[in-house]
Structure 1
Amino acid sequence: PRKGEGYECGIPTRGESMAQFKVGYYLFAILFLMFDVECVFLFPWAVRVKELGGAGLVSIAIFFTILVLGLVYAWRKGALEWK
């Protein structure tokens, strides 16, 4: 009897409440958020690139290389394939 009760919000569900999603949707969303957040980290470096000089440019290059390697890894694993 408790399985038919409303969950958290108190509103009873209508129809089938369990919908299955493919894991690929979640993986694609997590990859998007990960690369989006990493691009946000590039903004402060871009604003202060002249003040940071060569050391700042090297750190940006290292960060960007790691970002690209992560993208290549996800691509080779097939995480970006929409099946």
Structure 2
Amino acid sequence: MPEPTVVVRAADYFQSYSVVGLLGVLGVLFVAVAFGAGRLLRPVVPTPEKLLTYECGVDPVGDGWAHTQVRYYVYAFLYVIFAVDSIFLFPWATVFAADGYGATTLVEMFIFLGFLAVGLLYAYKKGVLTWA
């Protein structure tokens, strides 16, 4: 006996997503009204003292512009790369547990980790990871 087919009408499909869309619009509208009310109701009295840089209760000394060494950006960039790559490991772990995909996914993941290792080795050879 064939299984009965489920006919999904376009109106039902639109109705289910219209609720999600309406909640999204209401959320954005609520945030916009809150920011607008805050802007209209706050007192605006700029004084030279209020325009100074605030440093945790201590009188500001020198310029408010602080320079950061470029070497920190390289470490942050490498961290972001490996954090994004680690995100790909979680779906792999779920597929690896499925029947019939074990060996193939294991080989694919070792190839992926090999590319990561080559990139890390390249960064090490270029001297990016040395703290100068």
Smaller-chain TM-score bracket: 0.7 to 0.9
Work out the CA distance in 2 between the residues paired with 1:38 and 1:11: 43
**Which residue among 99, 106, 114 is the counterpart of 1:65?**
114
Name the Cα RMSD after superposition: 1.8
Percent identical residues: 41
Corresponding residue number in structure 1 for 2:93:
46
Deviation of the 1:11 alpha carbon: 4.5
**Which residue among 57, 61, 81 is the counterpart of 1:34?**
81
The answer to which structure has the higher helix fraction is: 1
| Gap regions ≥5 residues in structure 1 | 1-9
TM-score (norm 1): 0.75
Corresponding residue number in structure 2 for 1:6:
none
Larger-Rg structure = 2
Work out the CA distance in 2 between the residues paired with 1:43 and 1:11: 48
**Which residue among 1, 10, 18 is the counterpart of 2:65?**
18
| Gap regions ≥5 residues in structure 2 | 1-49, 54-59
Q: What is the one-letter code of the residue matched to 2:81? A: M
TM-score (norm 2): 0.50
| Worse overlay, 25-34 or 39-48 | 39-48
Q: What is the one-letter code of the residue matched to 1:69? A: V
Runs of 4 or more above 4 Å deviation: none
Corresponding residue number in structure 2 for 1:7:
none
Q: How many residues align?
A: 74
Higher relative contact order (CA 8 A, sep 6+): 1
Deviation of the 1:50 alpha carbon: 3.0
| 1:14-64 CA-partner distances (Å, limit 9, x unpaired) | 431221111110011110111122112111112221322222112111111
Work out the CA distance in 2 between the residues paired with 1:75 and 1:11: 45
